[in-house]
């Protein structure tokens, strides 16, 4: 498995398997076991996904040594505070039945992110987390957190796909030593992305699927991608992206698909903050 080196020296696999919206425990365990069998070594879950226990069972059932796996989980906004983060992390570790996690992220830039980050810094110093990072932070939020705390996030996991490429964000993070990781690599299947003419043309040219073209594009950008499927054949297909390379001309063709389209919302919009806060009973 190819890796990237994070800003603290930790090696992170270049592709990962995510379990968002796979809430059934049996299915989650099965697909994670299949992903690990296929060759995935990065497994991404979260407190909010409700499937950490199933991920932990799959890790133990896989037979792969723990040190060869890279396990990510995330802190939800309901516990976005110093004390909340300490307790939530302990709960996640118990559900996963692991001694440590490789990457722990603040899931959203909402709530007492500074208090939570101080808790993560302490957990990192104690060796319970190998790297700490954030998710869905824009450059100004990333700068604010970094400048007024001790540890610069190792990773920022953001929505990133061919219709929302975030070149400026990626350039800023690269300049600051923060690894870009994507969620929504397939735009959650929206905008008829799998039938996009440019992607279909490239899929035919390279004898790959449109999904493989999108994941290979991210790999060549230096982005750590996540993919998800409950279908074993697609799990295997999405991993099979290391035996071809997109030409620079074809990379440029994909760049031309940029439309700044989102599958979620603007994290700077007050309505987004209110929406997320509403999930944990906060309102004006």
For 207-247, where are the alpha helices, taking DSSP H only?
210-221, 232-239
Q: Which two tokens stand for residue 13?
A: 């696999």
- Residues labelled catalytic: 49
Q: Which two tokens stand for residue 156?
A: 């920022």
Q: Which is nearest to 101 in space by CA: 52, 145, 136?
A: 52
Which residues make Cβ contacts (< 8 Å) with residue 169, sequence separation at least 6? 138, 139, 158, 180
Q: Are strands 103-106 and 70-75 parallel, antiparallel or unpaired?
A: parallel
Contact 229, 238 (CB under 8 A): yes
C-alpha span between 57 and 97 (Å, rounded): 8
> How many CA atoms, within 13 angstroms, populate the side-chain half-sphere of residue 194?
8
């Amino acid at each position: 498995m190819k890796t990237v080196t994070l800003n603290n020296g930790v090696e992170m696999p270049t592709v990962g398997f995510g379990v968002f919206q796979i809430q059934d425990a049996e299915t989650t365990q099965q697909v994670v076991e299949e992903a690990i069998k296929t060759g995935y070594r990065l497994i991404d879950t979260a407190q909010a996904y409700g499937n950490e226990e199933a991920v932990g069972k799959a890790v133990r059932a896989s037979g792969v040594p723990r040190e060869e796996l890279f396990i990510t989980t995330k802190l939800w906004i309901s516990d976005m505070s110093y004390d909340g983060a300490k307790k939530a992390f302990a709960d996640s570790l118990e559900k996963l039945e692991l001694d440590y996690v490789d990457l722990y992220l603040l899931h959203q830039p909402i709530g007492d992110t500074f208090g939570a980050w101080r808790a993560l810094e302490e957990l990192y110093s104690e060796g319970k987390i190998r790297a700490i990072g954030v998710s869905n932070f824009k450059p100004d939020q990333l700068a604010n957190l970094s400048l007024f705390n001790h540890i610069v996030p190792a990773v920022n996991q953001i929505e990133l796909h061919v219709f929302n490429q975030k070149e400026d964000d990626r350039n800023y993070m690269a300049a600051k030593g923060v690894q870009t990781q994507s969620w929504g690599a397939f735009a959650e299947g929206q905008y008829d992305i799998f039938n996009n003419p440019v992607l279909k043309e490239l899929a035919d040219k390279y004898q790959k699927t449109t999904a493989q073209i999108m994941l290979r594009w991210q790999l060549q950008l230096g982005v750590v991608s996540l993919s998800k499927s409950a279908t074993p054949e697609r799990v295997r297909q999405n991993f099979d992206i290391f035996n071809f390379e997109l030409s620079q001309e074809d990379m440029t063709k994909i760049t031309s698909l940029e439309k700044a389209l989102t599958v979620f919302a603007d994290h700077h919009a007050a309505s987004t903050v209110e929406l997320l806060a509403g999930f944990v009973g906060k309102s004006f």
